[in-house]
Amino acid sequence: MKISVIGGGHGCYAAAIEMVEKGFDVTLWRRDGNALQALRQLGHLDVKDAQGERRIQIGTHKDQLSLTDSLEKATQQAELLIVPLPATSHDTLADQLGPLLRDDQVVFLPPGTFGSYLFHRAMRKAGNDSQVAFCETGTLPYLARKHGANKVVISVYATRLPTGVFPSELSAHAFSVLREAYPSAEPIEDGLSGALMNAGPIIHPPLIMMNAGPLEHFDAWDIHNEGTQPSIRSVTTALDNERIAVREKLGYQPSHFPLANHYAAEGEEWMYGRGAHGKLTDSGDWRENIDLHSHRYMLEDTRMGLSFIVSVGRWAGQPTPVAEGLLSIASAITGQDLYAQGRTLEMLGLDSLSQAQMRSLLTYGIQA
């Protein structure tokens, strides 16, 4: 299978490495031509994970990673496009990809913040009527960090990826392709269900807001280690319960993948398996300098992800007071109305839909 990985972030490099190691024909696209050229000159990607250290060669042979700065080339050659990029990149990328996509391609957004709809809409606005399946899941398939230009440390691989497809009528084809690359992908109802599995807006906003003092005081602070204390976990649990209540209000079925299972040693396995939180903190890779005005935990998970949950709750008639409170605090910190800037149903033009109209959209997509 031919796969293109779109982007140059931590998860993008991890995905490219894993897909090459699985034997696929893989191309990595980066917008940053200088960074791509530097990587090409280095000639390899180094990876370190629980299996040890090894090297992925860059080149044009079957078992090597190809590089390109042409989005058209990356799109044309791919049966599966993996897009492990922040939701903040989606608007521009969706407009660029829209005219290029073709029938039977699968686009995987891990996670998506309802990016599945955004990419589908951009394709239709470009006059492209292709049947393309847009999939989104609850988290990146990896806990990974880049160390320099060409080294990646992967602390954890996802073991369960609850994934929804937009439009859902293409789910059977989507999973026939996606599961070749990610056998851990588990079908759920649709793209909105996939968006409401996103763990980032649940775990990160309480951690950054309730650790604001040490984050601004110390040069580096680990919100997942010292920053994860019982009082903060209580807020995270309450916030996650609101997410689950919104899902239930919309008729989505268990498992809702409660975040509490991420921390628990027993019970239902979460997306990263059991014991993942300990592996994350042991790695030391999340002891970092987090600027509360510019970090993706604020700009993506709070401004976009938390706003999305609040907006769906308002549309469905399900209160989300903890989410709204955190969003208000974040707006006070940044001095901006983050809900107004967020990825909301209002911003997407979907807030006036009835539930029946929403179900039709989720099933069939935008109809001519």
Task: List, as one string, the DSSP characters of 332-356.
Answer: HHHTS-HHHHS--HHHHT-TT--HH
Q: Which residue has the tokens 């935990």?
A: 297
Is it the case that residue 279 has pLDDT exceeding 80?
no
Is it the case that residue 278 has pLDDT exceeding 90?
no
Is it the case that residue 365 has pLDDT exceeding 90?
yes
**213-255, pLDDT tens digit by residue?**
999 999 999 999 999 999 999 999 999 999 999 999 999 999 9
**150-191, pLDDT tens digit by residue?**
999 999 999 999 999 999 999 999 999 999 999 999 999 999
* Residue 286, pLDDT score: 78
Q: What is the mean pLDDT of residues 56-74?
A: 93
Q: Which of 308, 315, 314 is nearest to 344 (CA)?
A: 308
C-alpha–C-alpha distance, residues 10 and 144, integer Å: 6
* Residue 107, pLDDT score: 98
Q: Which of 190, 241, 199, 208 is nearest to 111 (CA)?
A: 199
C-alpha–C-alpha distance, residues 134 and 342, integer Å: 21
Is it the case that residue 281 has pLDDT exceeding 90?
no
C-alpha–C-alpha distance, residues 86 and 243, integer Å: 20
Of 287 and 294, more confident:
294
The upper half-sphere exposure of residue 30, i.e. CA atoms within 13 Å in the direction of its Cβ, equals 19
Contact 302, 338 (CB under 8 A): yes
- Can you name the CATH fold of 199-363? N-(1-d-carboxylethyl)-l-norvaline Dehydrogenase; domain 2 (1.10.1040)
Is it the case that residue 61 has pLDDT exceeding 90?
no
Q: Which of 96, 77, 73 is nearest to 85 (CA)?
A: 96
Backbone angles phi, psi at 57, to 5 degrees: -80, 150
Domain map (residue ranges) of the chain: 2-196, 199-363
C-alpha–C-alpha distance, residues 338 and 319, integer Å: 18
Residue partners of 247: CB distance under 8 A and separation at least 6 = 193, 196, 256
Sort 52 into a burial class: Cβ within 10 Å, 0-12 / 13-18 / 19+.
Answer: exposed
Is it the case that residue 114 has pLDDT exceeding 80?
yes
Is it the case that residue 75 has pLDDT exceeding 80?
yes
**192-206, pLDDT tens digit by residue?**
999 999 999 999 999
* Residue 343, pLDDT score: 98
Is it the case that residue 72 has pLDDT exceeding 80?
yes
Confidence at 50, pLDDT banded by 50, 70, 90:
very high
The CATH code of the domain at 2-196 is 3.40.50.720
* Residue 285, pLDDT score: 79
